[in-house]
Amino acid sequence: MLRRLLPGVYEGWIVAGTAGLLSMTVAAVFFYGFGTLFNPIREEFGWSAATTALAFSLRAEAQGAAAPLVGTAIDRLGPRRVLVVGVVVSAAGVLLLSLMQALWQFYATMLVLSVGMGAVGGQVGITATATWFRRRRARAIGLVILGPGFAGLFVAGVGALVEGLGWRAALRVLCAIFVVVGVFAALHVRSRPRLHPQPLDGLSDAEGGEEAGAVGVEWGMPLREAWRTRAFLFTSFGQGAAFFASTAVIVHQIPYLESLGIAPAVAAASVAAFTLGSIGGRVGFALIADRYEKRILLAIACAVVVAGMPLLAAAEGLWQASAAIGIVGAGVGGTLPTRPALLADYFGTRHFGAILGLGMTLLTLGAVVSPWMVGWLVDRTGEYTLGWVVCGLVATLSVPLMLFATPPDARGHRRAVSGGGAAPGGPGR
C-alpha cells in the first residue's frame, strides 16, 4: 500500500517506520501501559505486590523463551506471516485478561499474551529491517526502536482510560486499537525480496559505492556456532544485566512514585521521564553507532543505567525520582538500536532472526527476576530503596561484559551476493 503511494521512498524506510509504529503500539498497550493496571488489579483481588509482579515477570520470561522459535519462524516463513499469527494470539490474550477472575487465570493469560507479543514486537521489525540496510543499519534499527520510546507518552492516556472505564473495559478498547495497527503493519513489514529494484540502503552508486548496487546480502554464521561465541554471550548477558534494572523500574515506577506520596494521575504522567530519556538514548546512539565502535558504545550506555540506580534509591520527591528514571531510560534506550546492529555486523543477516531470538531469551533472564524481587523486598521492608540498590549492583556487571564482547572470526561464513542474493525470509514474505 505505502510503497505504491510513496514510490520515490526507499522501501526499507517504509518497513522500518511501519515496524516502529507497531512496536510503539505494542509497548504502549502491553509494556508501559500495563503499569497502570498494577494497582487496580491488586486492589480488586487483594493480591500482594510480589504476587502481582510475578505475572509481569512471567510475561517477560515467556516472551524470552518464545523468542528463538519466533526468530526461526521469521527466517523460514517471513515476518508477515509471523505478524498475522502474533496479532491474533495477542488480541485473544488481552480479551481473556479482561475476563479473568482468579490468580491462575491471570498467570495463564499473561503467558498467552507473552507469546503473541513476541510475534509482533520489535524482534520481527528489527529482523526485517536489518535485511534492507548495511551502511545505515543502526539508524534504520533505531527508527524501529524509536517507536516503543514514544509509547510512554501515551501512558497517561491509558491511565485515564483505566480510571474512566475500569481496567476490564479499558483492555477491550486497547485490544481494538492494537488489532487495527497490527493488520496495517502486516501489510507493510517484509524482508528484502530477491532482485529488489532499489539499491541496498537506498543509496545511489555515487553515495554508496560498490555496496549500493548490491541486491541482497546472503551471509551469516549459523546459530549453532554463533551462540558459543564470546561476542554473543557477553552482549546477551550484558544487556540482560542492564535490563534487570530497567525492567524493574518500568514495572514499579508508578507504584514507587505513589509510595512517595505522589498522586496516581501524576505518577502515571511521570512515565514520560523514562520515555523522554529513552527516546534521547535511542536517537543519540542510533545516529552515532554506524560511525563508532558499537561495543564501546554499548558499555557507555550500560554505564548510564548503572549511574541512575543509586540516584533513584536516594530520591525523596517527584523531580529527583523523575530525573533518575530519565537517566535509566537514556542508558537502556542507547542499548536498543546498538546491540542488534552489532549482532548483524558480527554474524550477518542470513540467520539473524534465530540469533536475535536466542539473545532475547538470555537477556530476559534478568527481566523475569527483577520485578518480582523488587516487589518481594517492598513487601518485606515497606519501601523500594533496597530493591533499587540491588538492581544497580546487578547492572554494574553489564559494563565489563560489553567491553569484552570482541568480534568473532566469521570469515568462513561471509558470502556477499551481487545481482541475485536473498535476504532472510525468502522472497519478502
Average pLDDT of the chain is 83
Count CB atoms within 10 A of the CB of residue 165: 13
Q: Distance between CA 107 and CA 55 in Å, rounded?
A: 5
Q: Greater confidence, 22 or 203?
A: 22
- Are 124 and 357 spatial neighbours (Cβ–Cβ below 8 Å)? no
Summarised one tens digit per residue, pLDDT across range 55-69 is 766 666 677 677 788
Q: How much is the pLDDT for 204?
A: 61
SS3 content of the chain, % helix, strand, coil (to 5): 80, 0, 20
| Geometric angle at alpha carbon 56, from 54 and 57, rounded to 5° | 60
Q: Greater confidence, 407 or 204?
A: 407
Q: How much is the pLDDT for 327?
A: 95
Q: How much is the pLDDT for 218?
A: 62
How far CA 292 is from CA of 138, 166, 298, 338, in Å, comes to 11, 48, 11, 11
Phi/psi of residue 348, nearest 5 degrees: 80, 180
Q: How much is the pLDDT for 303?
A: 96
What share of the chain in percent tops pLDDT 90? Answer: 22
Summarised one tens digit per residue, pLDDT across range 107-140 is 888 888 888 887 887 788 888 898 888 888 889 9
Q: Distance between CA 271 and CA 33 in Å, rounded?
A: 10
* Residue 414 reports pLDDT greater than 80: no
Torsion sign across C-alpha atoms 53, 58, 63, 67: positive
Q: Give the number of C-alpha atoms closer than 13 A to the C-alpha of residue 248, restricted to the C-beta side.
A: 34
- Are 303 and 155 spatial neighbours (Cβ–Cβ below 8 Å)? no
Summarised one tens digit per residue, pLDDT across range 175-230 is 898 899 888 888 888 888 877 888 888 876 545 444 444 444 467 788 888 888 99
* Residue 355 reports pLDDT greater than 50: yes
Q: Distance between CA 337 and CA 141 in Å, rounded?
A: 6
DSSP label at residue 209: G
- Are 242 and 302 spatial neighbours (Cβ–Cβ below 8 Å)? yes
Look up residue 389 and give its three cell numbers: 540498590
Summarised one tens digit per residue, pLDDT across range 226-271 is 888 999 999 999 999 999 999 899 888 888 888 888 887 788 777 7
Summarised one tens digit per residue, pLDDT across range 148-177 is 777 767 777 888 888 888 888 988 998 898
Q: Distance between CA 61 and CA 162 in Å, rounded?
A: 26
Q: How much is the pLDDT for 216?
A: 45
Q: How much is the pLDDT for 23?
A: 87
Q: How much is the pLDDT for 413?
A: 61
Q: Greater confidence, 418 or 346?
A: 346
Q: How far is CA 356 from the centre of its chain?
A: 11
Q: How much is the pLDDT for 44?
A: 83
Q: How much is the pLDDT for 367?
A: 72
Q: How much is the pLDDT for 356?
A: 87
Q: How much is the pLDDT for 411?
A: 64
Summarised one tens digit per residue, pLDDT across range 83-108 is 889 899 988 988 998 898 888 888 88
Give the model's confidence band at 1: pLDDT under 50 very low, under 70 low, under 90 confident, else very high. Answer: low
Give start and end residues of each alpha helix (H) in 220-293: 223-226, 230-259, 264-269, 271-288
